[in-house]
A and B are shown apart, each in its own frame.
Chain A
């Protein structure tokens, strides 16, 4: 399914509504170039889960945890990882089978480590600067 997201407020609306569907153990994969709004979408998902802390980019720390919402949120950014084996090294499989929701930015880098059938959102630039195209599917 492809969705046209016109601007950041539509990103927020999409994230808020996605958050309502999420259950413990769900993994949401976000794949898209720098600047396509992966962290912006994660912020909206967090808001929808009722997380009160500010979501900041976890690029340097790889994973940041938030426990103030309806479910724990584990926000991964695997941009700097070399491959899936490095994700196991930081104990990611425990997060994936855990009590909360995992959002994984740059999930394509660690595709083999992601549970099958997880939500996969590919984000592309649209035809104008603020526009994004969400291609929504499942991981294999």
Chain B
């Protein structure tokens, strides 16, 4: 406690970011340090796990000390430690979980494991101090395309998920096919602005009626087939049109299903999260669809959308307030069902 506020130290290392954050009373961010590894990954064209693990180890103390320092607090002031314990890369997760347990043990501080997806959704509580459950959440990132019904802070139901490629992953792969480089999502978003999104009719896969699942593998293959066919025919490719049309075919389906879920579950609020929440077309389509249906639309700023530890800290705070505490036997779980958090 400091100045009468409950302080949570959050730690996140499930994929390519090492991050630490201190929040006060769950929603007020005192510090949010992210040691981005994007430069290393650009060299290799993707996340390189071995480098990621080693970098996490090099970075973890720096980001934790940085988060405490920037917040102007010491470990003695911390009331709770929250850490992402899954899902993710095992080597990467272990670094954060081990650091969190060491600090919890040394400082005799309670520890709470957080599901990465629960963290992403919680970013919205930080961005919008007035947001309270229930609402519909949509998490769109390199590893996730999920629709979640948030009934309460710790009562969430996964309504649908991608059955094959995540949206961000499909964008990364198409960016590679078009020679745009990494990270693919922002490159496609930027290039799409110069293209005609109705130029090519890439197929939309909506699956069975009423399903909130996604499938992006088919559109990915469709784009690759299109590119290969055009190249073989000696035609010049219009990459901007391809990027714009491909992006529309993905984002349209996400926006439609998200709003359909909100309506079916009677939610009047819809919150976007995950790295792809920064996509300008997705944001526009969601805003339009929400407005047309009388739904309030929430979207955190990009720094809270990509992997960060403030969101983990916030989720941990609400779990702890509900009486949830983990032991020092907390383990990193590369596979972690969403209903087990």
A35: chain B residues at CB < 8 Å are 220-221, 224-225
Whether the Cβ atoms of B90 and A85 lie closer than 8 Å is no
CA distance A93 to B37 in the complex (A): 27
B162 at the interface (CB under 8 A from A): yes
Instruction: Tell me, rounded to whole Å, the shortest Cβ–Cβ distance linking A120 to chain B.
Output: 22
Whether the Cβ atoms of B48 and A34 lie closer than 8 Å is no
Whether the Cβ atoms of B50 and A89 lie closer than 8 Å is yes
Whether the Cβ atoms of B334 and A63 lie closer than 8 Å is yes
A14 at the interface (CB under 8 A from B): no
Instruction: Tell me, rounded to whole Å, the shortest Cβ–Cβ distance linking B94 to chain A.
Output: 11
A57: chain B residues at CB < 8 Å are 162, 164-166, 169, 217
Closest B residue to A60 by beta carbon equals B143
B15, B220, B228: the one contacting A60 at CB < 8 Å is B15
CA distance A65 to B86 in the complex (A): 14
Instruction: Tell me, rounded to whole Å, the shortest Cβ–Cβ distance linking B250 to chain A.
Output: 14
A85: chain B residues at CB < 8 Å are 50
Whether the Cβ atoms of B88 and A61 lie closer than 8 Å is yes
A39 at the interface (CB under 8 A from B): yes
Interface residues of B in 112-133 (CB under 8 A from A): none
Whether the Cβ atoms of A90 and B89 lie closer than 8 Å is yes
Instruction: Tell me, rounded to whole Å, the shortest Cβ–Cβ distance linking B65 to chain A.
Output: 26
CA distance A91 to B161 in the complex (A): 28
Interface centre among A34, A54, A61, A81 (most CB of B within 10 A): A61
Q: A34-B176, A35-B225, A61-B143 are in contact. Are A89 and B169 (CB under 8 A)?
A: no
Query: How many chain B residues have a CB neighbour from A under 8 Å?
Result: 36
Instruction: Tell me, rounded to whole Å, the shortest Cβ–Cβ distance linking A125 to chain B.
Output: 7
A125: chain B residues at CB < 8 Å are 228
B47: chain A residues at CB < 8 Å are 60, 80
Q: Is the interface of A mostly helix, strand, loop or mixed?
A: loop
Total A-B residue pairs with C-beta atoms closer than 8 Å?
A: 80
Q: A54-B163, A57-B165, A65-B335 are in contact. Are A34 and B228 (CB under 8 A)?
A: no
A18 at the interface (CB under 8 A from B): no
A118 at the interface (CB under 8 A from B): no
Instruction: Tell me, rounded to whole Å, the shortest Cβ–Cβ distance linking A52 to chain B.
Output: 14
How many of chain A's residues touch chain B, expressed as a range?
20 to 34
B87: chain A residues at CB < 8 Å are 61
B229: chain A residues at CB < 8 Å are 129
Interface residues of B in 9-66 (CB under 8 A from A): 15, 44-51, 53
CA distance A111 to B35 in the complex (A): 32
CA distance A33 to B223 in the complex (A): 13
B91 at the interface (CB under 8 A from A): yes
**Contact string, B175-217, partner A, CB cutoff 8 A, digits 1/0?**
0110000000000000000000000000000000000000001
B91, B164, B166, B176: the one contacting A89 at CB < 8 Å is B91
B142: chain A residues at CB < 8 Å are 60
CA distance A97 to B164 in the complex (A): 27
CA distance A90 to B92 in the complex (A): 9
Interface centre among B49, B161, B225 (most CB of A within 10 A): B49
Interface residues of A in 45-101 (CB under 8 A from B): 54, 56-57, 59-65, 79-82, 85-86, 89-91
Question: Using a CB–CB distance below 8 Å, which chain B residues touch chain A?
Answer: 15, 44-51, 53, 87-91, 142-143, 161-166, 169, 173, 176-177, 217, 220-221, 224-225, 228-229, 334-335
Would you list 14 pairs from A and B whose C-beta atoms are within 8 A, ordered by A residue? A34-B177, A40-B217, A54-B163, A57-B162, A59-B173, A60-B166, A60-B169, A61-B88, A79-B46, A80-B49, A81-B49, A86-B48, A90-B49, A129-B229
Question: Using a CB–CB distance below 8 Å, which chain A residues touch chain B?
Answer: 33-35, 37, 39-40, 54, 56-57, 59-65, 79-82, 85-86, 89-91, 125, 129
6 shortest A-B CB distances, which residue pairs?
Answer: A60-B143, A86-B50, A80-B46, A35-B224, A35-B221, A89-B50
